[in-house]
Amino acid sequence: MTDAADSANNQPPGYVPPSVWTWDQPSGGTWASINRPISGATHEAALPVGDHPLQLYSMGTPNGQKVTIMLEELLAAGHAGAEYDAWLIDIGKGDQFGSGFVGVNPNSKIPALMDHSTTPPTRLFESGSILFYLAEKFGAFLPTDHHKRAETMNWLMWQMGSAPFVGGGFGHFYAYAPFKIEYAINRYAMEAKRQLHVLDTQLARHQFVAGDDYTIADMAIWPWYGALVLGDAYRGDGYDAQQFLGAGEYENVQRWAEQIAAREPVKRGRIVNRTAEGKLRERHAASDFDRIGAAAGERV
């Protein structure tokens, strides 16, 4: 416990942790409304269901992009059964706490997927679980060779365990916290750079993260780390994570990130369930991208 005499050095000055934490103080910051210390639904809200067997409920955050990229890659590879409806779950408005969504994912986090091609329908949550399920279902982007498959799963699990330090750690304190805390930013910047170095070292030896094959490991890692080195993450008025972390020094990650970004299914998948101009709020057919591309005056 911090001694009261030292509390002037705390952030905010004078703060001393109580003996027992209680939920009577707002967490503050950009995403404060998505945090609560209890689980479960806050309101009744049924989920919509479209025409396709695969129904995705998500938002175009890095975790959401993993799944839409995978689905678009499957369709591009000729797996017609991967057609899907993607419904926006606006986490800023609390859609993830609706009863229907909680029924699919009791953890109230995007993405969540329902596969209506099975009897009864199969519910899926956690992005890594969804990627693995789809890879097995369609026999794609997950090697069958024992060692290659194990390596792919190693890196998929690496991403699942590492990215919270980049997002909830570095990204939160660097970009979203209500005030800047030097200790927190330094701690998580160090870890973010360590992770980038891990990835850079691996990519110095291989074309893709898990070896010579493009796999679900790349699809999981790219929306987080690829976006970071390309300058598409934690960048705004007064902050630029790409510059702050010296992302340009990770040349192998940069090469890989640009290679993945150039893939047409990735271009499509990364704009689904996003509300900004030129993005796709919902996706129900491949032709939805044609309308976005025409409006933007360029190929998506």
Per-residue pLDDT tens over the stretch 58-114: 999 999 999 999 999 999 999 999 999 999 999 999 999 999 999 999 999 999 999
Record the tokens describing residue 144, joined without a space: 């069958």
pLDDT band at 294 (very low <50, low <70, confident <90, very high): very low
Give me the pLDDT at residue 113, please: 99
> Buried b vs exposed e over 11-40: b needs ≥16 C-beta within 10 Å?
eeeeeeeeeeeeeeeeeeeeeeeeeeeeee
Per-residue pLDDT tens over the stretch 21-56: 998 876 767 777 788 899 999 999 999 999 999 999
> Buried b vs exposed e over 189-215: b needs ≥16 C-beta within 10 Å?
beebbebbeebbebbeeeebbbbebbb
pLDDT band at 1 (very low <50, low <70, confident <90, very high): very low
Kindly state the percentage of the chain with pLDDT values over 90. Answer: 85
Range in 4-18, 139-153, 174-188 with the lowest mean pLDDT: 4-18
Tell me which residue of 124, 155, 141, 148 sits closest to 69, measured CA to CA: 141
3-class SS of residue 114: strand
Q: Does the reported pTM lie above 0.75?
A: yes
Please compute the mean of the pLDDT values over residues 16-24 and round it to a whole number: 90
As its CATH architecture, domain 146-269 has Up-down Bundle (1.20)
pLDDT band at 3 (very low <50, low <70, confident <90, very high): low
Question: Helices in the chain by DSSP H: which ranges?
Answer: 62-76, 99-104, 127-138, 146-164, 182-203, 216-221, 227-229, 241-244, 251-261, 264-269, 287-296
Kindly state the percentage of the chain with pLDDT values over 70. Answer: 94
In whole angstroms, give the CA distance from residue 105 to residue 50: 19
Summary mean pLDDT of the chain:
93
pLDDT band at 4 (very low <50, low <70, confident <90, very high): low
Give me the pLDDT at residue 296, please: 43
| pLDDT exceeds cutoff 50 at 295 | no
Residue pair 41/275 in contact (Cβ under 8 Å)? The answer is no
Range in 35-39, 198-202, 231-235 with the lowest mean pLDDT: 35-39
In whole angstroms, give the CA distance from residue 248 to residue 231: 10
- The rounded Cα 145 to chain-centroid distance in angstroms is 28
pLDDT band at 297 (very low <50, low <70, confident <90, very high): very low
Which residues pair with residue 84 across a beta bridge? 54
In whole angstroms, give the CA distance from residue 118 to residue 121: 5
Give me the pLDDT at residue 293, please: 67
Domain ranges of the chain: 146-269
Please compute the mean of the pLDDT values over residues 167-194 and round it to a whole number: 95
Per-residue pLDDT tens over the stretch 118-151: 999 999 999 999 999 999 999 999 999 999 999 9
